[in-house]
Amino acid sequence: IGTMGQLPPGAVVLVETVEDVATVQVDDPENLAYATQTTLSVDETASIVAALQARFPSIGGPKKEDICYATTNRQQAVKAIAPKVDALLVLGAPNSSNSKRLVEVAKIHGCQRAQLVQRAADIDWSALDGVATLGITAGASAPEVLVEEVMEAARARYAVTVEELRTAFEDITFKLPKPLLDGGAPSRPVPADA
């Protein structure tokens, strides 16, 4: 909605499923490009892009992968852990697309007892009765402190043995914007009400 609102009406057509591709109407099929939401399911996105490319062979796309690397890595980890756990807690906000997607990925890959929670206080521990192996993951923007909070809450209720499953090593760094490098950063913190 945010991206589409930045362009003139009709300049962007929203395609959400492979089925949408079959019925989408465009003015100029030879002058067409796609972009994907950065937090979509990697597998689902690949199917939609393949359908677009089959229907519109000259369609252009991003020069690089536009699914967020953190989202991709977390989805891969959930695919690996889902068949190995009895239940999975995904830490993230209820309006977080990538966190909701992690719950969907877990269910598709063998863990029907996957649920989204914001923090330890939100966990329905009774829903985890009979769970011997609990997976815990977090959406791309969930702070690590929330994972630690849930781990502590689990330790208070159960005998916990932690096994970390890592499917990727994230070592991406981001450069500061040029104005900040040139001394444009404020010398003192800016008050929150400024």
pLDDT band at 178 (very low <50, low <70, confident <90, very high): low
188, β-bridge pairs = none
Domains and CATH numbers, the chain: 3-55 (no CATH), 76-156 (3.40.1010.20)
pLDDT in tens, 66-89: 445 566 778 888 989 999 999 999
List the structure tokens of 180. Answer: 């900040």
Mean pLDDT (the chain) is 80
Least confident segment among 27-31, 36-40, 90-94, 124-128:
36-40
Q: Is 40 exposed, middle or buried (0-12, 13-18, 19+ CB in 10 A)?
A: buried
Q: Which residues contact 141 (CB under 8 A, 6 or more apart)?
A: 92, 93, 96, 98
Tokens representing 152 are 């502590």
pLDDT at 39: 56
28 CA to centre of own chain: 32
Residue 162 has pLDDT above 50, yes or no: yes
Phi, psi of 97 (to 5 degrees): -60, -45
